[in-house]
């Protein structure tokens, strides 16, 4: 028995059985998902796991059952991957999978539903207005900055990876920003801009056993943290240790754990937080239930700072694969 908090012998590489790494898929983030998935696949294979790539855009999920897969590592991002749909299919197939279950996944992909839950639990998140496609009259759109101030952040309610996110500096930019977001989603989220430090904090585990990893501070060129900076340039700096004042990191970790638990997340996730420069108060932006696992990605970076290697992280996540409704238990009852 290992004393290093590594995977217990009963969930060693061979005990996992045949493992599918779900990657690719049909979302706007297919390209990044393929990068995440191939990293995970190599890591699991290097640890002796019988892991195989599986792209749901090219193969029917029912094949998982036919081909005898015993577990799935979900490395899909965005719609159809982290929105509860693939999780529901795996529940029906009875194949345990990594990450959050159906309900937590579908709430978390929707930034507005996420905010509603957080607000109901008294957790801090920036003020917002919801615009529905078809109800985007000019007067309403132009009135948003009066309510939320300028600059204002405009984003589709349900895309990940900063896709379609625009920071609007003046009234004249509102209409175009809303139209761009509305092209990607029926619901458009307009959010108060918080000026200050942008941080992100991964969580591993479930329920009371969930724990927050080290906080990462994101320093983007002119605070312009868009899709391009996120994946394809090296101008953005990621600081871990985050260098925040003593006590602030712990406070953020505690807030993030609460945010994760109230949504009922499990397995793992990553919560993005803004810290107001003036008040130093943290505000929850969003939660990612199937975070990136590329070489550039933030969860592996934070895990390394906590002494967990990329390979070890992949094995730990695979070991945590579960079902919302553990069918085997009921069958044996």
Q: Which of 249, 286, 311, 312 is catalytic?
A: 286
Q: CA torsion 234→240→243→245, rounded to 10°?
A: 130
Helix/strand/coil for 192: strand
Catalytic residue among 25, 91, 292, 302: 292
Backbone Cα Rg of the chain = 20
Question: What backbone phi and psi angles, to 5 degrees, belong to 11?
Answer: -120, 45
Q: Which of 164, 191, 270, 320 is catalytic?
A: 270
pLDDT at residue 333 in the model = 45
Angle, CA of 116, 82 and 323, to the nearest 5°: 100
Q: Which of 92, 119, 114 is nearest to 103 (CA)?
A: 114
Domain 128-192 in CATH 3.40.309.10? The answer is no
Q: Rounded to an integer, what distance in angstroms lies between the CA atom of residue 236 and that of residue 223?
A: 9
- Kindly write down the DSSP assignment for every residue of 217-267, as one continuous string: EEE-GGG---HHHHHH-S-SEEESS--PPTTHHHHHHHHHHHHHHHTT--S
- The answer to whether 91 is a known catalytic residue is no
Catalytic residue among 249, 272, 311, 312: 272
224 is catalytic: no
Q: What are phi and psi of 92, to 5 degrees?
A: -65, -35
- Mark 32-47 as b/e (b = at least 16 C-beta within 10 Å): bbbbbbbbbbebbbeb
N-term to C-term CA, the chain: 31
| Three-class secondary structure assignment of 29-55 | CHHHHHHHHHHHHHHHHHCCCEEEEEC
Residues 6 or more apart from 86 whose CB is under 8 A from it?
22, 25, 56, 61, 74, 76, 80, 97
pLDDT of 27 reads: 85
DSSP code of 10? G
121 included as an active-site residue: no
| Rounded Cα gap, residues 41 and 268, in angstroms | 18
| pLDDT at residue 228 in the model | 47
Task: Walk along the chain (333 residues) and give the pLDDT tens digit of each residue.
Answer: 444 444 454 556 778 999 999 999 988 889 999 999 999 999 999 999 999 999 999 999 999 999 999 999 999 998 889 999 999 999 999 999 999 999 999 999 999 999 999 999 999 999 999 998 766 678 888 899 999 999 999 998 886 556 778 899 999 999 999 988 888 888 899 999 999 999 999 999 999 999 999 999 999 876 554 544 455 556 789 999 999 987 999 999 999 999 999 999 999 999 999 999 999 999 999 999 999 999 789 999 999 999 999 999 999 999 999 999 874 454 444
Asked if residue 214 lies in contact with residue 302, where contact means CB atoms within 8 angstroms, the answer is yes
Residue from 100, 105, 161, 290 carrying the catalytic annotation: 161
- Does 82 qualify as catalytic in the annotation? no
CATH number of 107-124+195-315: 3.30.470.20
Here the tokens at position 229 are 């900076």
Strands 71-74 and 18-22: parallel
pLDDT of residue 160: 59
Q: What is the pLDDT of residue 235?
A: 79
Q: Residue 17 catalytic?
A: no
**Domain extent listing, the chain:** 9-98, 107-124+195-315, 128-192
Model pLDDT, residue 78: 86
For the record, the structure tokens of 196 come out as: 């200050």
Is 211 catalytic? The answer is no
List beta partners, residue 199: 217, 273
CA distances from 300 to 13, 99, 148, 269, 310 (A): 20, 15, 35, 12, 6
For helices 85-93 and 102-109, the axis angle rounded to 10 degrees is: 170
Rounded to two decimals, the pTM is 0.89
Set 100, 105, 288, 302: catalytic member: 288
Contact 314, 64 (CB under 8 A): no
Known catalytic residue at 288: yes
Separation CA 75–CA 55 (nearest Å): 10
Q: Which is catalytic among the residues 25, 29, 79, 158?
A: 29
Q: Answer yes or no: 29 catalytic.
A: yes
| Domain 9-98 bears CATH identifier 3.40.50.20 | yes
What pLDDT was estimated at residue 163?
Answer: 72
């Amino acid at each position: 028995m290992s004393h290093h908090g590594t995977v217990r012998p009963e969930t060693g590489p061979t005990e996992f059985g045949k493992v599918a790494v779900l990657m690719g898929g049909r979302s706007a983030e297919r390209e990044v998902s393929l990068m995440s998935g191939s990293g995970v696949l190599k890591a699991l294979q290097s640890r002796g796991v019988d892991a195989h790539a599986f792209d749901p855009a090219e193969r029917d999920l029912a094949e998982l059952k036919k081909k005898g897969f015993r577990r799935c590592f979900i490395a899909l991002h965005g719609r159809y991957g982290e929105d509860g749909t693939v999780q529901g299919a795996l529940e029906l197939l009875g194949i345990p999978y990594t990450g959050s279950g159906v309900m937590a996944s579908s709430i978390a992909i929707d930034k507005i539903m996420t905010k509603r839950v957080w607000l109901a639990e008294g957790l801090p998140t920036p003020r917002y207005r919801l615009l529905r496609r078809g109800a985007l009259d000019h007067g309403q759109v132009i009135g948003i900055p009066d309510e939320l101030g300028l600059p204002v952040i405009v984003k589709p309610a349900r895309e990940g990876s900063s896709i379609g996110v625009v920071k609007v500096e003046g009234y004249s930019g509102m209409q175009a920003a809303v139209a761009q977001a509305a092209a990607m989603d029926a619901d458009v989220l307009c959010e108060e801009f918080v000026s200050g430090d942008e941080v992100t904090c991964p969580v591993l585990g479930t329920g009371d056993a969930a724990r927050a990893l080290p906080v990462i501070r994101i320093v983007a060129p002119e605070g312009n943290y868009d899709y391009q900076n996120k994946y394809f340039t090296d101008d953005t700096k990621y600081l871990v240790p985050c260098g925040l004042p003593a006590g602030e990191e712990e406070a953020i970790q505690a807030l993030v754990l609460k945010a994760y638990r109230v949504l009922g997340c499990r397995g793992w996730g990553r919560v993005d937080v803004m810290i107001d420069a003036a008040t130093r108060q943290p505000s929850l932006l969003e939660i990612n239930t199937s975070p990136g696992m590329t070489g550039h990605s933030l969860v592996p970076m934070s895990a390394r700072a906590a002494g967990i290697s990329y390979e070890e992280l992949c094995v730990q996540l695979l070991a945590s694969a579960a079902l919302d409704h553990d069918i085997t238990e009921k069958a044996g009852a």
